[in-house]
Structure 1
């Protein structure tokens, strides 16, 4: 396993060496003794955590040089984790550094056990933030063409898109409402040879039956009452690109015949016209219904079904995607929290519990809408089950065990204390009547970040 990189900025050679040997087994340790070497090392190695002494040459008795290093590091990376290591007499300056963005401070002489605990927690948080940034910027393999998922079910969908997109074959996408069938269709389009062409989407169930034929195929002037000018249909507009037919199971019988002819011959006639018009639009269809049952009952043409279903993919419902649900929920929370100027919002424990228990009949669309509304309604720094309107789901869950109840109370008390003291560990521990190492241990056990 690759060791996390640790940068120690300390002008005292003996202290620097002592800390290196104490931490070398667990970390890839790099050393610096002044501002120039510290900033050069930070830029070149990108450490997970930096231990910074405030008293650096040429003015080792003055904190300004160390504070300048802190400022420069945070300018390079606002999320950098810097722990101040200062003498007892520099405590006010260390607090000043924490106010300027340092993660924490330790007083000299450093207790190595306490240092190890603080570092582990700090590296853990840095790794989580790095992973989340990678997800947001698409660097993680779990993000694919605007879709987020690590479950085997979603990875199968991603593989399908990679294989099928470069072909011109018609595609049939199956899945419940809200699973993201159109997002899959857009991914197929973008990765196709016609990705630069238009992507035209039409919902067959949203257009009145008597208008659907003219919407798809267009019409000539005078074709029917009100047809005062020639108009192109969606198949013509999608030439050189993709036509996405959502809810294809709602297609009327007459339109099914014309669509089948287009799929066979790649040409069509406008309503009221006789001219054969070619179009190379690729057809991608989607439905939440069982087309095979519709063909058996005579409501959907069997020959059209086989033309559409050259390749078929099923988009799984959210309840079948395991841990994807929490991952997607947190991505939505981050996006909407930034949008509404609430960037520090997190999910409360009861919210995560309710999210995991809900059956999500509306799938990703329902999750997206619930999180968006919850971000608007949340009062504090946490989104609760009440904000998500999932209190009924929570009340239906089995009662907690004594251990779970105790941990829930401990979590609430610690989170409240951290919020009141803006994440300052020392102040929160003092209020709770426990030592700082004990607080760190509890935070580790209960999965609590400094923001509470």
Structure 2
């Protein structure tokens, strides 16, 4: 069982993250500072350290030096995102913005541990061959159908080049996994891969975030900052949901692709950068160029090589293979390796249209594993809501008749989950903060804030 150390001074976050990881089947310890962690634990005995960036005393990045053989994942608030990028230069394997979704954190942890296992098993005489095998797209993404074999073929062909790649596919198909495979198979694999979700950054800050800014460039710019493009210098930059970039940022990005140079907001000087660009979108950029939403010249600069990830409904031969893979992983985490799908459940999986693609399938399997009280998963446990089929989750297992669960007062702050933390923060601060300020403090967009309010049943404060 992998051992994980959490170093976080906020008790609510530390407790919630501990519960999340314990539920996922990990052995977890925690501490409130770097010094406490070193005094109370043997840092070399952990498979992964998850640490906040800003801590009392030494910063979280100090753990990179004190535990040189253990991967360190840095957590950071939105306001210090650029500092987290700097931490990757110091040796952190990944960073994640707070507050984060359960799936986002678990996916990052699983990826890091898989990479660590691959490195541990590497033959000392041929590290290059082993690294290439571990980073092969077929080991990062699953696919046996012809469409996915073609995707793997294109990734292997284009990865060793410097060509700009546009990854196209619906939400949940695995576009970020394709970008990771492109980076790991490239000559830049030893350098950072900086991932940016263009839809998650407020429009007013996107240029500063990507290109950096000088001190005094705008209100609140109290010091100069390095942008994410500059942080990716000599490495790869993955721009997810690039169709959401505002026009001004599109024009600046075009210059990066044409001239290989950036200019910080508020600066008169440009500097050269060497960045391999990988972009992804679920939108039709070609159609957006006709409506003026996306620059045509930028589209053609990005669309040198396009890799299309097929939706799961077009990969019927992969559905049961993916389900088996997710079932094996989830059942091992839950300590019940005998879990299996009934024939009826298999047919239900193959009939479903999967609008959420691979992510929806993974969630369905995890849900079924939790609800299953024996060894056989039935269609009802999958809760696929297929039209015309009587496939529903047992009513006794649904709280509030499927209505949004209202925030509950916890007897002890240590029992708060990450969703509870979101509710707690919004309810505590919405009387004195605008929606924009709330979204910025939480590190999400206003649209994401609204969507979470709807999902969790948190009404907006009414203004007179």
Normalising by structure 2, report the TM-score: 0.54
Give CA deviations for 1:117-169 in whole Å, capped at 9, x if unaligned. xxxxxxxxxxxxxxxxxxxxx999x9713111110000000000000000001
Find the partner of 2:238 among 223, 236, 244: 244
The answer for the alignment partner of 1:214 in structure 2 is 208
Pairing 1:46-445 to 2, within 5 Å after superposition: 144-390=138-384, 392=386, 395=389
Query: Take 1:350 and 1:255, find their aligned partners in 2: how far apart are those partners?
Result: 50
**Contact 1:247–1:287 (8 Å) recurs in 2:** yes
Structure 1 SS opposite 2:382: coil
SS in 1 for 2:225: coil
The 3-state SS of whatever aligns with 1:273 is coil
The Cα shift of 1:226 comes to 0.7
* Structure 1: 5+ residue stretches without partners: 1-137, 398-452
Q: Deviations over 1:161-180 (max 9, x none)?
A: 00000000110011000000
Greater relative contact order (CA < 8 Å, ≥ 6 in sequence) = 2
Query: Superposition RMSD on alpha carbons, in Å?
Result: 1.9
- Describe the shift of the 1:143–1:257 C-alpha distance in structure 2 as closer, same or farther (beyond 3 A): closer
Query: Distance in 1 between the 2:215 and 2:263 partners?
Result: 13
Shift of 1:207: 1.1
| Shift in alpha-carbon separation, 1:245–1:391, aligned structure 2, 3 A | closer
SS in 1 for 2:278: strand
Write the distance in 2 (CA, Å) between the matches of 1:233 and 1:139: 32
- CA distance 1:331–1:341, shift in 2 (3 Å): same
Offset from partner CA, 1:236-274 (integer Å, 9 cap, x none): 111121111111111100000000001011111111112
Rg comparison, structure with higher value: 1
> Relative to structure 1, is the Cα distance of residues 295 and 396 closer, same or farther in structure 2, using a 3 angstrom cutoff?
farther
Q: How far apart are the structure 2 equivalents of 1:336 and 1:297? A: 45
Deviation at 1:370, TM superposition (A): 1.1
Cα offsets for 1:278-317 (capped at 9, x unmatched): 2111110111111111001111111000000010010000
Q: Identify unmatched segments of 5+ residues in structure 2.
A: 1-131, 392-464
CA distance in 1, matches of 2:250, 2:302: 11
Q: Secondary structure at the match of 1:285?
A: strand
